[in-house]
Structure 1
C-alpha cells in the first residue's frame, strides 16, 4: 500500500514515527522481551536465543490455537513498546505505523487514524515485485486482513499512494489538518 514510504514522509516532516513491525523484530531478537514467553509456549520456535518467524509460522500452521496464544503474548509487549515510545517522543505529531490497527482495536487509542491505500492490483504488484512472497502467501495474508474499503471507511484520513506525489500531498494535508486542530 505504500505504508513505509508514507511513514518516512511523516518522519521527514518532523513527526516521531513508531513502527510496529520494527518493534516486533526487536522483541523477537536475541535478548528481546518476547523470547522467554514465546520460548515457554513454543520452544521449537527459538533458534540461537531468538524467535524464528519461520518456526513460529510452522507452529501456527500446525495448531489452529497457536496464533491466538502468540497474540496474547506479543500484543501486550508491543503495546508497552509503543507506550514507551509515545512517552519519550518530543515531536508535535507522533505517528504509529501499525499494519493491523483496526483488526487489533488499537484505533480506539488514537487521536486520529490514517489509511494509506492503492487499488488492489497495484498492492499485489508491489508486494510480489519484492520477491519475498508468493501469490498464494500474499492472498492468504490479505484474506486475514480487514478489506481496504472498510479501513478507508473507518479512517479519519485516507492517503492515496498511487504515486509519490499523491502520497506527499496526502501527508501534508493530514499534517495541516492535525496541526490546525491542535
Structure 2
C-alpha cells in the first residue's frame, strides 16, 4: 500500500470524528484552542488504537483466508464507505438543548471517540490481509484525527453540521475507492503495488 493510500485512509477514518467534532464545537460556547486540542488528542489516541486491535484480530484469521484476502479488504472497505456515505446523506435528529449544555468531559469525549472509531477497527481487520506497517497506518490515522477534530471543534459554531456531513460522504467515497484499487491490483496481478514505497 502506497503512502498516499495510507494518508487517504487516515483522512477517511477521521471524517466521522470530524463530523462529530463539528457538532461538539457547535454545542460548546466559544470553544478555545486548548479545549479543541484536548478533544483532538482524545479522539486521535482512540482512533489510532482501534485499527491495531482490528489488525490483530484479522491477523489471527489471516492464515485461513489468504486466498480471499483482497475480496475481504474490498468488501470491508466498501461496506464501511457505503455506510459513511449513507450516514452523510441522512438528516440529523434535532439536538437536545439540555444535552448540548452538558460539559464535554473526558469520558463524554472518549465515548464519542470510541463510537466514531469502530469503522477504524474494521479497517484494521481488512489491513491484516495486506502487506502494511500497521503502526504507521495507525499513527497516520491518529494524527489525521487529531488535526481534523481540533479543526472541527474550532469551526463548529461557524460551519454547523452541513460541512461535517459532506466530509463523511467524501471519506466514505475514499474508502470505496481504496477498496476497489486493492481488488484491482490483486486481480490484475499488480499486487506489488501494495508494498510501502
Structure (1/2) with the larger strand percentage:
1
| Fold similarity call, TM over 0.5 | no
- TM bucket (normalised to shorter chain) is under 0.3
TM-score (norm 2): 0.26
Structure (1/2) with the larger helix percentage:
2
